[in-house]
Every structure is written in C-alpha cells, then in structure tokens.
Structure 1
Amino acid sequence: MTTDRVRHVLFDADGVLQHLPGGWYAAAEPFLGERSSAFLHAAWAAERPLLTGGGADFVAMLKELLVEHGSTASVAEVYTALWGTLDTVAATVDVVHRVRAAGYGVHLATNQASHRAELMRTTLGYDDLFDVSCYSYDLGVAKPDPSFFLRAADRIAADPSEILLVDDSAGNVEAARSAGLSAIQWAFDSGDTADHTGDPSLLEQLKRHGVRL
C-alpha cells in the first residue's frame, strides 16, 4: 500500500536490524551437538512467557534445560554465545539514519525478554538510535498480536495510518496491516548489504510507501 501519510517508520530487530552471527543452530552446536535443535526449541518455549513481561529467571531455566539435554557446558557460556551475542546490520542502521535525517520518526518494534533487551538498549546503542523503542516485554504483548502495534502507535503518539513497519515476518506484517499500519516484509539477507551503505531494495520499498529520501 502506497501512502503519503507515513510520518514514522517502525523497524523490527531480529532479521532486519540485527542477527546472531552464524545463526542459532551453529552457535548451539559446540555445546549440544545433535541435541541443539531440541534444546533450542525447549529454550524458546521457556522464554516465550518472558516476552510479555513474565518474571521467571531465564538463566536458571537454561541451566535446567542443559542438564535435561545432557550437556555439561557452562550456562554462562551458553547464554553468552546464544543470547548475549548480537551483530547489528550496518546497512540497515544506515537506512535508519537516512530516514531520520529525512525528518521521519524512527522507532523499534521487537519481541524481546528484558534480559536480551538490555543488551540491545545499551551495548548496541538502540536507546540512542531510535526515538521510541517498543519491546514486547515492556508493552505486555508480543507480535503478531495486533494489540502490539496499537500500543506501539500510542507510545509513538501517532495514528496507526501514519506508521510504516519493516519486519521479516509475514505474520507480523499481516497483523500490522490489520491494526491500520502500512507494512513491508523485508529481511537483511534478502538484498545486497555487502557495501554497508544502505540496502537499495529496502530504500526502494520505503520510497514506494511514501517515505521521501
């Protein structure tokens, strides 16, 4: 949907703005070998309630899961390798800066538990990069629930029709549209980001949705 009403761009994090180098399974394999997939799915299931503000101790849960999956690895090492390691995508960060320089609000929309969000806010510098950050644990609702996007719009203080979402998940894009936002499905590895000067396919899609750069 093309619109001239867009005043704000809402960026997803994982798959758009950041990634775990090598991917989750490669990061888990040194600690769990062939049990990596089973461990990761169990860990993600345990983490899910924390995405909307649950108060469980995730590290303690990880320690139990490592024992259950037959690993003697240090929980601190596993946590650091999988949940404490993130690389930003330089090309997407460049796009964020260009959108802001053009006069639009730039905001973050991500499903995260508080333990990983802290790394993003401080070490990765997202508190400075974005005008408003919408973390699911803080909003109390996670994508793809359309309420996530309505609460994000309230926090941004904008009508949903003025917001354009960039997200790698088709389900999240559909939910955002149902909440009245415009939305683009895009992932950092779906275009040429090698020169780190801003992915042209993302820039082109933003322009087609009324973002004047």
Structure 2
Amino acid sequence: MKWILYDIGGVLELVDDHTWPQQLEQAWSDRLGLPVDVFRARLDGADLPDTTLQSGVATEYWQKLGAALEIEDAEVDSMRAQLWDAYCGEANTELLEHARSLKGRAGLAILSNSGDGAREEEERRFRFSEVFDPICYSHEQGVAKPDPGAYLAALARMGASAADVLFIDDNEGPMRGAESCGIRAVLHRDNTATIAAIEAFLAE
C-alpha cells in the first residue's frame, strides 16, 4: 500500500509558522507594557520545559510563564488561547477534502513538529483522526524533523517502507530530511500542484 504523509502547519492548516510566533510575542509584550527584550529575558530565565519534544509538560510551561511575567491565571489562560488560535490557523479545506477522497486508495498519515497540547487542540478544531492514522507529533515521539529519527518513527508506526511513502511539507529542511531517509517528498506551495503530485504518485 502507498502512503501519503502530511505536515500540518502550512499544509493541512493555513498558517505561517515563520511569522506568527514573532507577531504573538510582540502583541503580548505590548499588552503587558514590556519591551520585547525584557519579555524575552524573563522567559529565558524561567526554565520553561521544551514543549516540542516532551508531552505532559504544558501545565508546568504555562505556570512558569505566568510566574515569570507576574500575571494572573486569567491572563495566562487568555494568552494560552491566543497561542493555540495562532498556532492552528484555519483548515486547508481543499487539501483536507482531497485527503478524505483518498481513503481506500492510500494510507494517510501525519508527521508534524508540534507543541504539547497540539493533538487535543487540532483534534477539537479539525478532527484529523477521522482522516489520518497514525498522527505522529514531535512532542509525543521526542524527536523532530528533520532528524532522521522522526521519519523512521513515522515509518514504523505506519508499517510502511520508505519507497511507498510520499511526504508533503512546506519547508525545504524537513523535505530534505525525508529524502535522506529514502522517502519521496514534495515541497507544498499550492493545493493544485500538491494534489497533482499526490495523484501522480498514486498512479505509478
């Protein structure tokens, strides 16, 4: 069986991962009346856990963030909600509907660099589990793209060989990481080209 392996941010979700973290940082700094460098310094000194490679640490992360910024729990909750709205963006409906149409023709899976809590937030918004299995998150696997371990873990969970997988990502680094593991990869730029690449792969 052939497999299509999708990234999330910038592919299945319409979101620019290169800009929203900086925009959110600026918005939070302005909201709290702190210069950005002071805001960063406080968080740098807060010993925040790495949420991208660990699960079950989100509560600790937000508690330490709140303490470092000297803000109330309600403010922390508001910032947390803002982060997930920015992180998740909006569904790429066209690409998701095409993925749904592939059921029975290919295995459908996700490999995404992520933050602790992403599975719950994205499932609530987009119901990815109705389409994709497995869903491989870096914070759950403990390894992130483009580390070869991320792709090898996904292949193991899929029960697939590299030659039978097409990986789709909107960044060249993860795409090259997949190729280094023998996985064919497509750099996502627009839905039309990506869908055409998927169809060509499945027609081979």
Q: TM-score range by the shorter chain?
A: 0.7 to 0.9
Partner of 2:3 in structure 1?
A: 8
Deviation (angstroms), 1:76: 1.0
1:212 aligns with 2:203: yes
Match 1:31 to one of 20, 23, 28: 28
TM-score (norm 2): 0.78
- Greater displacement, 172-181 / 135-144: 135-144
Task: Output aligned runs, 1:1-213, within 5 Å.
Answer: 7-20=2-15, 23-33=20-30, 35=36, 39=40, 49-53=50-54, 55-56=56-57, 57-67=60-70, 74-84=75-85, 86=88, 87-100=90-103, 103-186=105-188, 190-191=189-190, 199-208=191-200, 210-212=201-203
Deviation (angstroms), 1:60: 1.7
Answer yes or no: is the 8 Å Cα contact 2:95–2:195 preserved in 1. no
Amino acid of the structure 1 residue aligned with 2:92: V
Alignment coverage as a number of residue pairs: 191
Deviation (angstroms), 1:26: 4.2
Deviation (angstroms), 1:55: 4.7
Amino acid of the structure 1 residue aligned with 2:116: S
Partner of 1:196 in structure 2?
A: none
Q: Deviations over 1:121-165 (max 9, x none)?
A: 333211112121111122221111011101100000011111110
Q: SS where residue 103 of structure 2 aligns?
A: helix
Answer yes or no: is the 8 Å Cα contact 1:147–1:179 preserved in 2. no
Answer yes or no: is the 8 Å Cα contact 1:141–1:148 preserved in 2. yes
Deviation (angstroms), 1:88: 1.3
TM-score (norm 1): 0.75
Identity over aligned pairs, percent = 21
CA separation in 1, counterparts of 2:151 and 2:48?
21
Answer yes or no: is the 8 Å Cα contact 1:84–1:119 preserved in 2. no
CA separation in 2, counterparts of 1:145 and 1:99?
28
Amino acid of the structure 1 residue aligned with 2:29: L
Answer yes or no: is the 8 Å Cα contact 2:55–2:116 preserved in 1. no
Note closer, same or farther for the CA distance 1:150–1:144 as it changes in structure 2 (3 Å cut).
Answer: same
Give the aligned CA root-mean-square deviation in angstroms: 3.2
